[in-house]
Amino acid sequence: MKFFWIFIFSIYFGLLGKTKLIAQTDTLHLYQVYPSFSNEEKAEWTAFENNWNYFDYSSIKKTFKVKRLNCKNCESLYADMFIEINNDGKISIIKFLKGKKCGIPCNEELFINQFENSLKKQQFKSLKNKQFIARFGHILKC
């Protein structure tokens, strides 16, 4: 009887271990979750992102002749940027960390400048004295 329970527990823990491994392989890294932001700051950032996606990101896609992101031609066009917002609500530091253009890592000066210049003109009212990493652009999960 003792060996029966040992056998049952070993099967149970073996299955439990496999389940954990499967769940961990499909982890997504979310950049746009900022737990330190107040509700007002989150609302301002969300409005900014929506506006940026509609105007500035569309312009960047035109520059690189990407009409639509799709899995056949171009599945990603994005840049991860370190941003520091000063006490006046202006972006004081913008640092390009990494980016991809149609799935290929990109460090071209034009690519980096397109993203940085689109952010330099921004003024925030609620967001002040913040430092964070944000992803600008999109990646399709093909």
Q: Which residue has the higher pLDDT, 139 or 32?
A: 139
How far is the C-alpha of 127 from the C-alpha of 86, rounded, in Å? 9
Q: What is the dihedral sign for C-alpha 119, 123, 124, 128?
A: positive
How far is the C-alpha of 5 from the C-alpha of 10, rounded, in Å? 8
pTM of the model: 0.69
Using one digit for the tens of pLDDT, what is the confidence trace for 31-51? 455 667 888 988 898 899 888
DSSP-derived 3-state class of residue 136: strand
Using one digit for the tens of pLDDT, what is the confidence trace for 93-113? 999 999 999 888 988 898 888
Q: How many Cβ atoms from other residues are within 10 Å of residue 93's Cβ?
A: 11
